[in-house]
A and B are shown apart, each in its own frame.
Chain A
């Protein structure tokens, strides 16, 4: 039986956990958190408008983010052979669709034969949903950058609140547009340098399914091609327990409606599709922020690095705001036949001043110049239970990069994935992002192998190993180096109410010896080992408890071993009968330093996520409350208006510290408290 003890909201939590786990591993690897909430926007949309699996095409199923390539292809074949599915239970007959996957998807899917409403152009413009979102947050303790009189020439010029507003119209994901404005804490608002109000504005218009035109994007959108060797913006996960998601997949164009101020294009893009051919072309012109250096008075300067944080709070940050013009254009041609799909992709970038990184040995092959062109050929092929994919790319200097992978469903209970990457040290792609250990696809060779075994519905085992090497130097690694990563996770799901898992991960890399300030430092091995135990228990239909305990050991040849520990307990309440829900976390962490830091995914208000790094010693607690005020408001204003409200209170208390953070963000005392409020109106 699929429906059972777990409520819809609890199913939701399972999907959240699957996503959270990937995000955590990504944050650990990159030490950086993206602001791209497009995944959360999509899942929220599907929660309200479940995807009809009898009608959805491949691209729409990929938006669910929870299905792997086999499951998608098998469902399409199944529908072709046997016609539409009768009900949810029939999904179990589709190869690769197991009960666990179906349960994860339940809140987001539906099976019915209702043909979608006539999608003529007029109904698209008026039949959709309007949503207006306001999000504001504030750190209650005053950071150094806000002190008056200012402590230094660089100080935070604006108010301490973060304010984010977004209006969006969406008709069944076929037609959407919107505008948003974002002001980070410390940025001014209608004052000083921000005369236009918000620091960041974004407009997007995205239409799909217009006959020959598969998608049309005007305004802000993201471009993703192949396996990311030449171009990838938007959500991309690398290694995680979901070993079948080694393959990157995304439509070339996607709308962009997130507050992150980088990693998108501003311009026009169009995708045409006719029979087996699909063609995409885009062009964009925008201003971006970069660190500039000038050699002399007459020199227009050169870019030493592209900025992505989007912070424009201090005088020097404002100087770097939108100081470089970026023009880009690109195209992609793909041909699909039977199990094959082949695409030819090209992108071209042009900057108003050249990129010239700092003159260090590790930058010998770094991005250089004003113009960048990349082309690639990517392919995918499915044969029975094997799915092959890959990409071969070249940059303007004819340096090459290759990625090849295979997904194999060896048995109904066993999936295997392999991925090989071979990217030369001098390969350059400005906005590439592939399945690599490095943040940028360059200077890396590696082999990834993953296996997922589900011997029964009770037990699940996921494991992977990644062996890689870097042929050239890297930042803080003064020699060619290598690394290895091993991961093993065992999950036990005795019934629908309980899930217990334990995970062990070990990672070795090389870095310059700490404290070695010679021109070419010695390179040391660094080992990180993690062990985590995690449990999810549904106490009742409305109440869930989550518990985690995690230990990390950080070892390097030159310093003493650092150990870290983290434990938390979550209480989640959500009832179908009540219009409100909430969750509370209590956490204790203790690490011996920054090197033994631990990451933990936190629940947040809608469309926000938070994966802080925890180090040193302290407590963390947060409380999220959600209230659906529609019933209250409906009687008074408008029958159709829906109103929802989220409040978040989060506090970290450090033990034995009297200062938190550094620089302008420094807070005196040992507490850091954040308060967040979000309102969403829908029509």
Chain B
């Protein structure tokens, strides 16, 4: 079953993946990167994200996610959309992740993908992604994640399919302020991609993130400000030949009354 469609991916995956393999830097979008990090969900969080890919309106991507700790783990619902009335791709996912003991966490997500091309109709498919995180030490965390291992078709009549993506990640929490993260990703039929990124909290309310990816030579840099329950990030990724992709992210944490923090 050839050929492969382009995977629905945004810069957010590289950006939010930074916090995924850690204990203290996770957020609602890092749950989308590896569902096992849902085991770290302590409060209900919701987030929205938007990216203008390569500065083209037609390639804008929108994402939303909401996660809530429940069933001794965490559950999340995610939604992604890109396109316009003539062509669009939508993905809706339901995820669950929990910890199995002190050191291990597992997560799983079911997605419904829909592609719409005017004149051709819609094509829907379901796929699954699984992930696991291992807390090697207090500071070092490793994990793996597989997207679409069972090779589902893009639609009932389609010969196209979404590619499988295999990832391993490693996060090193150097200090309370600094996190270094590496992710090695292999998407079917594409060269291996190695991402290295860093998260540095200059102050409790303000942080910087930056990273690079091999293969295409992508890099990104971003900053985030948090105030009470809100956090907003602005970041941009840069492709050496296709240009900039600016993005905006907003996260809202619904802190439980007993756990209301004083910052």
Contacts and interface: CB of A to CB of B under 8 A. Distances in A.
Given A410-B198, A451-B196, A451-B198, A484 B214 contact: yes
A411 interface: yes
Say which size band chain B's interface belongs to: 10 to 19
Contacts of B178: 410-411, 414
A611 interface: no
Interface string B201-222: 0000000001010100101000
B214 A465 contact: yes
B177 interface: yes
Q: For chain B, what secondary structure do more than half of its interface residues adopt (helix, strand, loop), or is it mixed?
A: strand
Given A414-B180, A416-B198, A453-B180, A469 B240 contact: yes
Nearest to B238: A447
A410 B200 contact: yes
Contacts of A449: 210, 212, 219
A135 B64 CA distance: 73
A504 to B, nearest CB: 10
Nearest to B217: A467
A414 B177 CA distance: 12
B45 to A, nearest CB: 27
B172 interface: yes
Nearest to B199: A410
Interface in B185-242: 194, 196, 198, 200, 210, 212, 214, 217, 219, 240-241
Contacts of B219: 447, 449, 467
A447 B196 CA distance: 15
B171 to A, nearest CB: 13
B1 interface: no
Interface residues of A, number: 18
Contacts of B210: 449
A453 B181 CA distance: 12
B2 interface: no
A467 B237 CA distance: 14
A482 B241 contact: yes
Contacts of B174: 410-411, 413-414, 453, 455
Interface in A469-484: 469, 482, 484
Contacts of B200: 410
Counting chain A CB atoms within 10 Å of each CB, the highest count among B177, B180, B196, B217 belongs to: B217
A281 interface: no
A486 interface: yes
Contacts of A410: 174, 177-178, 198, 200
B194 A455 contact: no
Given A410-B174, A455-B172, A465 B212 contact: yes
Given A410-B174, A447-B219, A455-B172, A486 B198 contact: no
B158 interface: no
B175 interface: yes
B35 to A, nearest CB: 28
A449 B195 CA distance: 12
Nearest to A463: B196
Contacts of B194: 486
Nearest to A448: B212
B203 to A, nearest CB: 13
A281 B172 CA distance: 50
B177 A411 contact: yes
Contacts of B180: 414, 451, 453
11 contacts: A410-B177, A411-B174, A411-B177, A416-B198, A449-B212, A455-B174, A465-B214, A467-B219, A469-B241, A482-B217, A486-B214
Please give me the 6 A-B residue pairs with the lowest Cβ-Cβ distance, nearest first. A467-B217, A411-B174, A411-B178, A411-B175, A484-B217, A465-B212
